[in-house]
Chains A and B, each alone.
Chain A
Amino acid sequence: MSKKVRLMQGNEACVEGAIAAGMMFYSGYPITPSTEIAEISAERLPRIGGKFIQMEDEIAGIAAAIGASLTGVKTMTATSGPGFSLKQENIGYAAIAEIPIVIVDVQRGGPSTGQPTSPAQGDMMQAKWGTHGDHPVIALCPSSVKETFDLTIKSFNLAEKYRMPVLLMMDEVVGHMREKIEIPDSSEIEIINRKKPTCSAEEYLPFKPEANLVPLMADFGTGYRYHVTGLVHDETGFPSNSTQVADDLIRRLMDKVEVNKADIISWEEENTEDADILIFAYGCVARAAKTAIKMLREKGIKVGLFRPITVWPFPEERLIELSKQVKVIIAPEMNLGQMVLEVERLCNKHTKIERLNKVNGEIIYPEEIIAKIQEVL
């Protein structure tokens, strides 16, 4: 099997992963530090018969991607902080209308224009709560170039499988860093496509869920003429004022993720078997954590890493287990404490939790993590 090894940037790996997953449509608006994702998509897509369009703003970027998805193609849009804010309304639309789409946020310093070229992890809670109303969320967080490739594919697979928007929460470091990655042969890549109806058009109920709570999705233009709305709707797709219908719909949307958690959630552990100190880190910070662990282990300090790969839904159970084993959890984040809120909520009965936060536009260095650990020991 031919394996291609290439040196590439995280943002490029995102596009390569998307194309490997079957992306045929990209619409977006340029913004640092995500712009390369648009530029590379513009270059690559027409070569494979796909489409790229630069829209007038980020709202239009996600809207066009949702529209395109309804015709049966896999679509993506990428942005950073300010653009992620603008996309929120239509993220909710994709959630309630159950339209697969991948949204990439290459995080930079905020709020507002903030620090356009600096890395941050300030949008982690926005990923969960950014759009109004109760809605399901799947958000993945890569910490290397190779993982960006893999998680972009996974994002598409989850979006297709669960008919919902999936967020890929990168950061400036991962987006712009260059690493050698091995691109697997397409035969080795698992690709999931949305399930389409096979029944007659007369029998098709566009929002009637299958056993896994996900309805079958017909492409626009294939004879299943149906209605899609952001209003609460029943199985026919038409708006409904029934309290029962509203309750059933919102609960089912949430349950799509809740019930299928085991299939969705993933995390990485390193040196946790004997650890009595646990570093909780994700994205580029997890890289510093790994270096810190290596240095501390050399000194005989038993430190381990827990790295959520799906940040939403959060890998609760395993973290709780580990919290019973360790004396302290150190949570370094490039924000003033976001995912640590989950750690505290789940683990503060079992162990001590120490925050380490940075919002000055710099990355967190291994030495800073080591210093924090030495301070609390």
Chain B
Amino acid sequence: MPSQLVEQYFRADNLPQIWCPGCGHGIITRAIAAAIEQLDLDPNKVCVVSGIGCSSRAPGYLDFNTLHTTHGRALAFATGIKLANPDLKVIVIMGDGDSTAIGGNHFIHACRRNIDITTIIFNNNIYGMTGGQYSPTTPKFDKGTTAPYGNIDKAFDVCDLAGAAGATYVGRATSYHANMVTTLVKNGIMNEGFSLIEAISGCPTYYGRKNKKGGPVDMMKWQKDFAVNVTAAARMTPEQLEGKFLIGEFKNKPEPEYTKEYQRIIDSLKGSDV
């Protein structure tokens, strides 16, 4: 019998996952399940949708209504599910490439609509599934199999992007800070609107190896040492923040939710069909 959390919310028969040893995706997936447990959501009403990538394999291990779609399109499928049946709690899991390259357009528009979907981006700064090509979140000058001389693209800040596009709840944590992932996902689910949680994950197999970041433990240590909570950062000098990245809750600004607004239109038209 696995742990109670796993027993209750995972499809334990499908475990262990296909992920590499030490891949951060498993830690984040567990943190999401913990959020669902703590909110005591009815599993029959939870729907987890993903695209294509290592991260997008997560729903197959989770015991909810699960949908593994096409590369980049998870949010578009999820939008249909949520609008068709607003009673469902819709959670979307995507990789950084999945969400911000091929799925970038769906991403900004889901943010803009403020539809009640909680999205978790497993950001490992690389295309894991296809073997280590650079992604829109690969830091400048880092390497990927398609950036053998260093990446010259500027990286997206996924949280800034989401906030600017209209997401009403935005936060970031890491696989090291798994409890914070849980807290942010919980808040995201409770936010009636579009929530984006960026979960920094580690891909030791490709990103780690290509960029001499060491193994899974070293990558987690980096998360521990370089993450600064946004509240602590407020009291730090630019010099102290040099090379660091922020975690925590960045935006929590509720606005009218899309499916509720649509229902308002339906209600206003009641009895008007001729």
Query: CB distance A227 to B265 under 8 Å?
Result: no
| Residues of B with C-beta under 8 A to A55 | 76, 79, 109
Which candidate, B56-64, B136-144, B220-228, is the interface stretch facing chain A?
A: B56-64
Partner-A contacts on B (CB < 8 A): 11, 14, 43-45, 47, 49, 59-60, 63-70, 73, 76-81, 83-85, 87-88, 105-106, 109, 262, 265-266, 269, 272-273
Query: CB distance A225 to B273 under 8 Å?
Result: no
Q: Decide if A53 is an interface residue (CB 8 Å cutoff).
A: yes
Query: CB distance A59 to B73 under 8 Å?
Result: yes
Q: Please, how many angstroms separate the alpha-carbon atoms of A3 and B266 in the complex?
A: 27
A interface bracket (residues with beta carbon within 8 Å of B) = 35 or more
Q: Please, how many angstroms separate the alpha-carbon atoms of A228 and B66 in the complex?
A: 6
| Residues of B with C-beta under 8 A to A25 | 80, 83-84
Q: Please, how many angstroms separate the alpha-carbon atoms of A66 and B75 in the complex?
A: 12
Query: CB distance B80 to A48 under 8 Å?
Result: no
Partner-B contacts on A (CB < 8 A): 24-25, 27, 44, 46-49, 51, 53, 55-57, 59-61, 63-73, 75, 89-90, 93, 220-223, 225-231, 238-239
| Residues of B with C-beta under 8 A to A225 | 43-44, 63-66
Q: Which residue of A lies closest to B68 (CB)?
A: A229
Option from A69, A93, A239 in Cβ contact (under 8 Å) with B69: A93
Q: How far is the CB of B271 from chain A (nearest CB, A)?
A: 9
Option from A51, A221, A228 in Cβ contact (under 8 Å) with B88: A221
Q: Please, how many angstroms separate the alpha-carbon atoms of A6 and B142 in the complex?
A: 65
A55-B109, A71-B84 known; A90-B70 Cβ under 8 A: yes
| Residues of A with C-beta under 8 A to B272 | 47
Q: Please, how many angstroms separate the alpha-carbon atoms of A319 and B47 in the complex?
A: 48
Q: Please, how many angstroms separate the alpha-carbon atoms of A48 and B70 in the complex?
A: 31
Option from A59, A89, A222, A227 in Cβ contact (under 8 Å) with B66: A227
Q: How far is the CB of A272 from chain B (nearest CB, A)?
A: 43
Q: Which residue of A lies closest to B59 (CB)?
A: A227
| Residues of A with C-beta under 8 A to B76 | 55-56, 59-61, 63-64, 67
Query: CB distance B106 to A230 under 8 Å?
Result: no
Query: CB distance A67 to B68 under 8 Å?
Result: no
Q: Please, how many angstroms separate the alpha-carbon atoms of A226 and B64 in the complex?
A: 7
A-B contact pairs, 11 of them (CB 8 A): A51-B84, A59-B73, A60-B73, A60-B79, A63-B79, A67-B81, A73-B84, A89-B70, A220-B88, A221-B87, A228-B67
Apart from A220-B67, A230-B70: 5 A-B pairs, beta carbons within 8 A: A47-B269, A48-B273, A51-B84, A68-B84, A71-B85
Q: How far is the CB of B66 from chain A (nearest CB, A)?
A: 5
